[in-house]
Amino acid sequence: MPSSVRRVTRRRAAGAGLAALLLAGGAVGCSRAASDSSPGMAPAAAVAEAAKKTQDITSLRYRMAGTMPGEGKITAEAAMSMKPQAMSMRMTSSKTGSTVQLRVVDKALYLNGGPEAAKELGGKSWLKLDMSALGGLGDNLAANGTGAAEADKNPAAEAAFLTGAKDVKKVGTETVDGVRTTHYAGRVSLADVKAAAAKGEDKAARERREKSVEGYEKMGVDAIVMDMWVDGDHHTKRFRMRGEGDKGPLDMTVTFVDVDKPVTVTAPPAGDTTDLAQLMKDAQG
């Protein structure tokens, strides 16, 4: 790839590796208040029920904040639809000091790095990447922190991680965004996450979780301390993940605003978009 193209993609997408968590996220929900999310239910069973609820989710909105290995402090807000697959995210990273927008529409990934990045794209704000044709380019972009290889992940996978823990315990009851929840906690290794997925999930859910595990393995994280807040309808309202990666600590909290409500994501205007495939073709020409 020409150095100018590498520079543009890096600057446009700086900080978007966050999409892996997000792209990195968990199971979901906002719901009516309740005195206890799992009356008479053992902690492990309550966590398993919440994980099961994630499999039928069609859309969700969430916010996240914390620290990612190699990225520093991050904040983000996102919305995702599973069918059809679409996602919109706005995130800010302390590493770059800038805000990045990311959209996934019709199997294409769009990245907007702000005014400074637009200067290198002839004034156009968005860079388009065809996700189905990324191939080795996707690996290169992921290595540079763009999160392109992770952008199609379903964020419902991470909240199910706690089902693999052998020491799940009930911490107490707490109110999150006005919703009464039960707080659970435990420690789980990625090996146990994979084993739990193999036992109790359908093929689609298992593949989502395995793909999510790969993102953490690339960070060098091999075990996660996890807290989970479950509402009265057995939906995960919030979860927090902590661990140590090759490039620093992981400490991310994801709060779900709502679930199964309409999410519409549109592609940026064609006149304000540069197609990376065409850019490379022109460079080769």
Q: Report DSSP letters for 88-99, one per residue.
A: EEEEEETTTTEE
Binning pLDDT at 50, 70 and 90, where does residue 283 land? confident
pLDDT higher than threshold 90 for residue 200: no
CATH number for the domain spanning 78: value is 2.50.20.20
| CA quadruple 112, 117, 118, 121: dihedral, nearest 10 | -100
pLDDT higher than threshold 90 for residue 116: no
Q: How many CB atoms lie within 10 A of CB 64?
A: 24
Residue-wise pLDDT for 25-42, tens only, equals 333 333 333 445 455 689
221-256 b/e (C-beta count within 10 Å ≥ 16 → b): bebbebbbbbbbbbbbbbbbbbbbbeeeebbbebbb
The mean per-residue pLDDT over the stretch 116-140 comes to 74
How many residues does this entry show for the chain? 285
The number of folded domains in the chain is 1
Q: 57 by DSSP, 3-state: which?
A: coil
155-190 b/e (C-beta count within 10 Å ≥ 16 → b): bbbbbbbbbbbeebebeeeeebeebbbbbbbbbbeb
Residue-wise pLDDT for 221-247, tens only, equals 989 999 999 999 999 999 999 999 888
- CB proximity list for 226: less than 8 A, separation 6 or greater: 161, 162, 165, 185, 186, 187, 188, 239, 240, 241, 242
- CB proximity list for 277: less than 8 A, separation 6 or greater: 129, 130, 133
Contact 229, 174 (CB under 8 A): yes
89 is in which domain, residue-wise?
3-284
Q: DSSP state, 191?
A: H
Terminal C-alpha separation, the chain:
13
Binning pLDDT at 50, 70 and 90, where does residue 216 land? confident
Q: 86 by DSSP, 3-state: which?
A: strand
Mean per-residue pLDDT of the chain: 78
pLDDT at position 173 is 95
Q: At what angle do helices 276-284 and 3-13 cross, to 10 degrees?
A: 170
What are the backbone dihedrals phi and psi of residue 274, each rounded to the nearest 5 degrees, phi first?
Answer: -105, 125
* Amino acid in position 180: R
Binning pLDDT at 50, 70 and 90, where does residue 115 land? confident
Three-state SS letters, 114-148: CHHHHHCCCCCCEEEEEHHHCCHHHHHHHHCCCCH
pLDDT at position 198 is 62
Contact 64, 74 (CB under 8 A): yes
